[in-house]
Chains A and B, each alone.
Chain A
Amino acid sequence: MSIATPVRELPGRSKVPFEVLEEKARFIRLETVRLTRIAGAGHYSAVFSCAELLAALYYRELRIDPREPAHPARDRFVLSKGHAAIGLYPVLADLGFYEPELLESFTRMGSPFGDHPDMKKIPGIDFSSGSLGHGLSVGAGMALATRLAGHSANVWVMTGDGELGEGQIWEAAMAAAHHRLGRLRVIVDANQLCIDGFTRDVMAVEPIDERFRAFGWDVHRIDGHDLPAILATFDALPSQDHGAPQCIIADTVKGRGVARMELSPDWHVGNLVGQDYDDVVAELEGGQG
């Protein structure tokens, strides 16, 4: 299947050391705090749980080209937990997909940057999201289509753990294993909380590992804030067109990096003002990652 002709070769995977990735994770958290102030409300804590994962993906793992965002053979990333887009927008700007100044319009009237990402407005966003539970189906479709086209593209999907309550996730999980989509990789950002509280109290999603395994996936379970562990896991993933799809369960802490937000159900959406804003920025600048 010849669908589109690439202009240039994709760059290889970068070898950015994890110390740099730690700085990028800090950058993601700080930018999330800064952009939320523009909007007056934002999803801090759902970004903080996946900051290391986003850094590892975008600065090291994904084969993408900001000069050719729609390269047909590129790796794909679907942010199924679309409410974490505020943490992804600064990364794409930092990588050169668009000018960082554009982010100043975040959520303002007519901005390309809403709370949930829009692929038709933002270069580098591979699919629009916002309604939870859809992204794994999108990724399965991408993996089928790129395999059909003969591209060796890896397709990554990031979901939350609360999101696994959506039945469509399991429809897609079944289909991915059935079609042996060996290049499909889901990262479950298991940050333990959904909006109304701990997932174990609201709707038990564990054992996530056994559940994906039962659906025919290879499962890896790691500390989602441990960058060396993340990189080692990514590096060890098999790259094969036909094989078991790969599930990486990243055990994380919702709100990680800001003490008051960690595992707090009060901070799914919030707004820092005045001294609180300055305190949180100082905490992030001084703290770990």
Chain B
Amino acid sequence: MSTQPLTGTGEQDWQDQSEVFNGTADTGLRDARSSDGNDTRQIPAFVFGEELADLAEEDPRIVVLTADLGRASRANDFRERHPERFFNTGIAEKNMITMAAGMASAGCVPFASTFASFAALLGAEQIRTDCAYPRMPVRVVGHHSGISLGFYGTSHHSLEDLGIMRTIADLTVVAATDANHLRAVLRAAVDHPGAMYIRLGRGRDPQVYETPPEVRFGRSLTVREGGDLTIISVGSTVHPALEAAARLGEHGIGVRVIDMYSIRPLDREAIERAARETGRILVVEEANLTNGLGTAVGEVLLELGLPGVRFRKHGVPDEHVPVGPPAALYAHYRLDAPGIEAVAKELL
């Protein structure tokens, strides 16, 4: 048995992951991927319940469900203001998702939330059969996605959710990037037809958008312009991709960064434009490289058949992740800003 540490120490945040379960992040810790010590009020999980509570003031259809993670997701903020429309199913995710579908059939717009690993893997069949197939307006919210739960291990990681969810017909698959983006996603989700899977990060994702951007499912947001390379990313990796782009920019390399928050339907036009205009496409995602966003973008590029386009997908390789705090794992897999910068240079 070896105790040799793997690459990446993640000293910045290894001390305390308790906020995952109690929903508070006032640990004074800085996210290892953020260079600016982000404001803890501006992190996605923390506006989830608050934004829905605001929306519910005007819309009696909105209900919120959790499976014993109302503290972690801050869904409890919704409970504070709309207790009659908040339902905690206890540790019973399958029942939560199907019950939400039953509520949707009777006129509700339910937001059913739990860790992404449980929502999308344990609840995959319920999402397909009870939400997507009958086109129920259920919004399954998978928070703490990817490897953001760090040393809690594979049972709590969701590296497969994008791959599974994007193969389900009639399901809209979206990832929120930061707090403002999450607000925009939730607002746009209320009246969106059919079922949705909304992927959230850890709740510590640094700010990308100063205000809620215009979100349209099937479109993307170009958050940085550039002509030499395009990084297409989603959710938690958009911010480090932007940091990497900025570093490359200091060396005269123009990097476009696209927030491809709508994984399904995909913004094919933005992909084609990026391929034609920059000739190099790097997809960065906190997901297993099998069948994630990178695969989706790669499929589009193959079909386009544009000559001379260089393409690489970058994420977590097809393996179970070792034990480690999140920042160490991001460094290990080169999903932090320096890592993305290095991968981008390889493509250049």
Contacts and interface: CB of A to CB of B under 8 A. Distances in A.
A171 B103 contact: no
A175 B99 contact: yes
A148 B108 contact: yes
Nearest to B102: A141
A126 to B, nearest CB: 7
Interface string A87-130: 00000000000000000000000000000001110000011101
Interface string B11-29: 0000000000000000000
A212 to B, nearest CB: 16
B102 A137 contact: yes
B233 interface: no
A175 B89 contact: yes
B101 interface: yes
B249 to A, nearest CB: 50
A174 to B, nearest CB: 7
A182 to B, nearest CB: 16
A29 interface: no
A130 B126 CA distance: 12
Given A168-B95, A171-B94, A175-B95, A2 B60 contact: yes
A32 B63 CA distance: 40
Nearest to B170: A120
Contacts of B317: none
Contacts of A72: 106-107
A214 interface: no
A140 B84 contact: no
Contacts of A128: 129-130, 133-134
B100 A141 contact: yes
Contacts of B103: 141-142, 144-145
Contact of A141 (B61, B84, B90, B106): B106
Contacts of A144: 87, 99, 102-103
B69 to A, nearest CB: 16
Contacts of B102: 78, 127, 137-145
A1 B107 CA distance: 9
Most buried by A among B87, B99, B101, B106: B106
A145 B95 contact: no
Contacts, number: 108
A283 to B, nearest CB: 36
B204 interface: no
A219 interface: no
Contacts of A208: none
A63 to B, nearest CB: 15
B106 A149 contact: yes
A7 interface: no
Interface residues of A, number: 36
B247 interface: no
A288 interface: no
Nearest to B94: A168
Interface centre among A127, A143, A145 (most CB of B within 10 A): A145
Contacts of B133: 128
A120 B61 CA distance: 21
A149 B84 CA distance: 11
B98 interface: yes
A11 B92 CA distance: 37
Contacts of B100: 141
Interface in A7-31: none
A4 interface: yes
A172 interface: yes
A134 B126 contact: yes
Contact of A171 (B95, B101, B106, B110): B95
B135 interface: yes
A149 to B, nearest CB: 6
A233 interface: no
A49 interface: no
A239 interface: no
Interface in B123-156: 125-126, 129-130, 133-135
A171 B92 contact: yes
A148 B89 contact: no
Given A120-B134, A137-B94, A175-B89, 11 more contacts: A1-B107, A76-B106, A134-B129, A137-B102, A137-B130, A141-B106, A141-B110, A143-B102, A168-B98, A171-B92, A172-B99
Interface of A: 1-4, 72, 76, 78, 118-120, 126-128, 130-131, 134, 137-146, 148-149, 167-168, 171-172, 174-175, 178-179
23 contacts: A3-B107, A72-B107, A120-B134, A128-B130, A128-B134, A131-B125, A131-B129, A134-B129, A138-B98, A139-B102, A141-B106, A142-B106, A145-B103, A145-B104, A145-B105, A148-B84, A149-B106, A167-B94, A168-B94, A174-B90, A174-B92, A175-B90, A179-B87
The 10 A-B residue pairs whose C-beta atoms are closest, nearest first, are A141-B102, A3-B107, A137-B98, A171-B95, A145-B106, A138-B102, A171-B92, A141-B99, A141-B103, A145-B103
Interface of B: 60-61, 63, 84-85, 87, 89-90, 92, 94-95, 98-108, 110, 125-126, 129-130, 133-135
